[in-house]
Amino acid sequence: MQSEEGQSQRANLPAIVEAIYARSLTDHVQARFGRTLDSYDGADLDRLRRDIARTDRELTDLSRLAIREELIENSHPPAGNGIGKVGTYTDMSLIRHELNKQRNRVGVRDLTARAGAALIDLKPCWMMSPLAVAQYLHGQFAFDLVVIDEASQITPENALGAIMRARQVVIVGDTKQLPPTNFFSKVLDDADEDEDVRTDSESILDMANTTFTPVRQLRWHYRSPQPNLIAISNKMVYDGQLTLFPAARDGDPELGVELVKVEGEYRKGRNIPEARAIVAGAIQHMRDHPERSLGLATMNKDQTELIVTEFERERARNRHVEAYIERWAEKDNGLEEIFVKNLETIQGDERDVIMISTLYGPDPETGKTYQRFGPVNSVHGHRRLNVLFSRAKEKIVTYSSMVPTDILADGKAYGVQMLRAWLEFSRTGQLGDIQVERCETDSPFEDFVIAQIEAAGYEAVPQVGASGFKIDIGVRHPDWPYGFILAVECDGAPYHSSRSSRDRDRLRQQVLEGLGWHFHRIWSTDWFRDPRGQIEKLRAALVAALTRAKTEEAERQQSRAQAVERARKAAEVAAARAAEAAEAAEAAEAAEAAEAAKAERAEQALTRKAAKADAKAKSDNTRQGRLFEEPSAVPSAAADVADVLTGPRPSLSEQALARIEQWCGDQAYDHFNRTATTRKRGFYWLGFLEGVAASDAIEEGESEALVAEAQEIDAFFGDAGESRVTDMLAEALEDAVGDLMAAISIQCTALRESLDDPEHAAE
């Protein structure tokens, strides 16, 4: 027995020696730096970390203000020329001149050519497209720095204009996303009609990567709070080089990826069942999650148009849809409103939830899935899928008529292999080495902390994270199925290996807190001094974390319920407005129909009266000769007219008045005097005299005089202008007035004929 104990002690001898050595080092450090170390504890270090983070944020804000102040203080735009012709004005003289103009301002290209120096001094930072650079800037226009963003989609020839105007250039982009594309559709037979001819050009980013140095890679992936949203792309496109942040809610079914199997079929570039399924899913999302933005994506333009058609059909039936669309169209000026796009147009967009229609599926006649996948088959098909699979911030739902085994990826284009891998990952959540597996701890210190966490009834997961950005210990609890409730950080090697205090004490934790993590930090010095006290603090933090998680989830559910209720009320309001609009439209249509019927009846009445007036005119025309051959015996008509015409300013000759008396026979005057009021009488006499004045046979002087007197009569009897004509037409509905107008028409005709007679030329 003693021999066994001796053997055991000898076996533990290396560990015992190591412990003695470590203790000796500790005593040495304590003896040399004890005073300094004793002046700090975990609370002091946490306070200092908070101070560093606050100061760093303030420094960033102050730097922004300092740059602005420096620009303002150093801004001295040249005055330029302000003398002579306006066309020679330059710089500030030209700008001030243009500011005072309301229209006909100088063109942009001319303005930048003549006032470029002043414009750059006033606004040193410009944002333009390559086309705008070529269109608005002259060749001599230069900038200290030009930054080209989304450079993977810009060809070298389009970027050259901006580069030639730069003293220094920074080209930013992702060579793994969409290249510049020349897209040509060609007519193919039915078997190949889903194939497209694309010519992917070299981008300025491709050229810069082989020409310019240095090249710097940006590895942090911010968009996806769930690593599995970018897991496929990170593995198959970026070779696992991206830094992914671990997800706190990795068990939430509302986050991550999901596959919905559709019993669809692919025919002539479209999949109708799949389009209907994705539209139904979109409407369900709008009803259940109105607080989350949404985008729909598919593989080609035909399926995009089909989805839009199906969506518009369902939109008319579902009141929730309109309320959702209005909400996101108004929020942030429509920055995240719903969209339906295809592979070629989706780059640059992102939404909380992305729904994908994979389009392809079994042939309706043979039941086979043909291995033709349009743009995915191209050399850069994997780049197109990379764009598609990286648009979501919270969740991707894939609607597919295929299962992974329907795609024969062996020997196929890399994009086809990636499509199959995506379907498999969306279905199972597993794809080789991208899964978050249980890793080993970095130190015995972490082992001891994990033991204490598990002793308290919690689950401890060491080194949580998919790649490059791991949390020391993640804590779960059986009562919390959604993910981690707490991150426990120890100041081990990962903490001390950070290159800067900004990364170590602010940025890393700030990003993780933004993804839902809550932290509890244990300092090794505190644990060494008082392990029991630190264990009690750890247990208290665990209890508080579980309580906080449950409270936050309850608040989240309440907020979601409130959002759904607001959406429901908004839908009811939208439905009520639609009903009111329908009723108003129906009432307007009825009123329009009634007005049309009334107008038709009035037109019919006018037609009847006109016919009667024509008949009367024909009857009176038989008496025309006698009416003018025998002068009227009743002079009162001429007297009435003469009283007005020859009042204060007589202008007509006696011969003309006698002729008027002769032409205004007793029958016409009697009709007139019997049926018209004084006001109406003035209107009709005015019309008669204007007709007389319009005759070419009357001498110029008398014509002008007659017009003047007609205006005087109008002023005497009533309003002038169109109202007189309107009243005349309205009163023409009366039989008596109709007779009168017919008689006057006869008299005017006779007047013209009489004036054409040479015997009356002198008069």
Cα gap 458→201, rounded to integer Å = 55
Once rounded to an integer, what is the mean pLDDT over residues 652-678?
47
Residue 702 has pLDDT above 60, yes or no: no
Predicted pLDDT of residue 17: 83
pLDDT band at 75, cuts 50/70/90?
A: confident
Q: Tens digits of per-residue pLDDT, 162-177?
A: 999 999 999 999 988 8
CA distances from 739 to 609, 641, 689 (A): 10, 20, 18
Q: How far apart are CA 704 and CA 694, in angstroms?
A: 9
CATH superfamily of 444-551: VSR Endonuclease (3.40.960.10)
- Using 50, 70 and 90 to split pLDDT, how confident is the model at 627? very low
Predicted local distance difference test score (pLDDT) of residue 518:
93
Q: Rounded mean pLDDT of the chain? A: 77
Q: 343 CB contacts (<8 Å, ≥6 apart)?
A: 297, 298, 299, 300, 375, 384, 385, 387, 388
Say which range, 278-282, 286-290, 707-711, has the weakest mean pLDDT. Answer: 707-711
User: Could you please report the per-residue DSSP string of 324-385?
Assistant: HHHHHHHGGGGTT--EEEETTT-TT--EEEEEEE------TTT----S--GGGGSTTHHHHH
Query: Would you say 105 and 98 are in contact if contact means Cβ atoms under 8 Å apart?
Result: yes
The pair of three-digit structure tokens given for residue 67, joined into one six-digit string: 């740059």
Q: Is the pLDDT at 440 greater than 70, yes or no?
A: yes
- Categorize the per-residue pLDDT at 595 as very low, low, confident or very high, splitting at 50, 70 and 90: confident
Distance (Å) of CA 660 to CA 5, 293, 666, 692: 153, 85, 12, 10
- In total, the chain counts a number of residues equal to 763
> For position 643, what pLDDT does the model report?
46
Number of alpha helices (DSSP H) and beta strands (DSSP E) in the chain: 28, 13
Q: Where are the domains of the chain?
A: 46-75, 86-193+200-211, 253-434, 444-551, 623-760
Torsion sign (Cα): 79, 82, 83, 87: positive
pLDDT tens digits, 377-427: 888 899 999 999 999 999 999 999 999 999 987 767 899 999 999 999 999
Q: Choose between 64 and 507: higher pLDDT.
A: 64
pLDDT score, position 642 = 44
- In this model, does residue 258 exceed pLDDT 90? yes
Instruction: Decide which of 755 and 362 is more confident.
Output: 362
Instruction: Name the residue with higher pLDDT: 434 or 83.
Output: 83
pTM: 0.67
How does pLDDT run across 455-490, given as a tens digit for each residue? 999 999 998 875 557 888 999 999 999 999 999 988
Question: Both tokens of residue 659?
Answer: 């002729």
pLDDT at 193: 42
Q: Which helix (H) or strand (E) holds 173?
A: none
Which pLDDT score, from 0 to 100, does residue 166 have? 92
CA 194 and chain centroid, separation: 30
pLDDT in the model for residue 283: 94
Residue 495: predicted pLDDT? 66
Give the closest residue to 503 by CA, choosing from 52, 45, 41, 48: 52
- Mean pLDDT value of segment 495-508: 71
> Left (φ > 0), alpha (ψ -120 to 50) or beta: where does 754 sit?
alpha
Q: How confident is the model at residue 341 (pLDDT cuts 50, 70, 90)?
A: very high
User: Of residues 699 and 9, which shows the higher confidence score?
Assistant: 9
* Torsions phi, psi for 231 (to 5 deg): -60, -45
Supply the DSSP string of 31-71, one letter for each residue: HHHHHHHHT--HHHHHHHHHHHHHHHHHHHHHHHHHHHHHH
How confident is the model over 683-708, as a mean pLDDT? 50
Compute CA distances 348 → 175, 287, 299, whole Å.
14, 26, 16
Dihedral class, residue 334 (left if φ above 0, else alpha if ψ from -120 to 50, else beta)? left
pLDDT value at residue 23: 81
Which pLDDT score, from 0 to 100, does residue 132 have?
92
Strand order in the sheet with 256-261: 256-261, 392-400, 351-357, 294-298, 339-342
Predicted pLDDT at 644 = 42
Residue 527 has pLDDT above 50, yes or no: yes
Tell whether the model's pLDDT for residue 264 goes beyond 90. yes
Judge contact between 717 and 644, C-beta under 8 A.
Answer: no
Q: 93-148, pLDDT tens digit by residue?
A: 999 998 988 888 889 999 999 999 999 999 999 999 999 998 999 888 889 999 99
CATH no. for 253-434: 3.40.50.300
What was the pLDDT predicted at 665? 46
User: 610 vs 400, which has greater pLDDT?
Assistant: 400
How many Å apart are CA 318 and CA 321, to the nearest integer?
Answer: 6
Calculate mean pLDDT across residues 226-241: 88
- What pLDDT shows up at residue 312? 92
For range 682-689, the mean pLDDT:
51
| Phi, psi for residue 640 in degrees, rounded to 5 | -60, -45
Q: Tell me the CA distances in angstroms from 273 to 207, 315, 343, 440, one per residue in order.
A: 44, 17, 20, 48
pLDDT for 646: 42
* Res. 568 pLDDT band, cuts 50 70 90: confident
Question: Taking the CA atoms of the chain, what radius of gyration do you get in angstroms?
Answer: 46
Say which range, 214-218, 266-270, 538-542, 594-598, has the weakest mean pLDDT.
Answer: 594-598
Give the per-residue pLDDT at 651. Answer: 43
Q: What is the mean pLDDT of residues 666-680?
A: 45
Cα 491 to the chain's mean position, in Å? Answer: 46
**What is the distance between the alpha carbons of residues 285 and 294, in angstroms, rounded to a whole number?**
8
Residue 670: both structure tokens together: 């009697």
Where residue 669 falls among pLDDT bands split at 50, 70, 90?
very low
State the pairing for strand pair 459-464/471-476: antiparallel
- Give percent above pLDDT 90 in the chain: 33
Question: Quick check: do 253-434 and 444-551 share a fold?
Answer: no
- Please tell me the distance from the alpha carbon of residue 350 to that of residue 575, in angstroms, as a whole number: 30
Position 629 scores a pLDDT of: 36
The CA distance from 339 to 359, in Å, is 17
Nearest to 686 by CA among 654, 651, 725, 648: 725
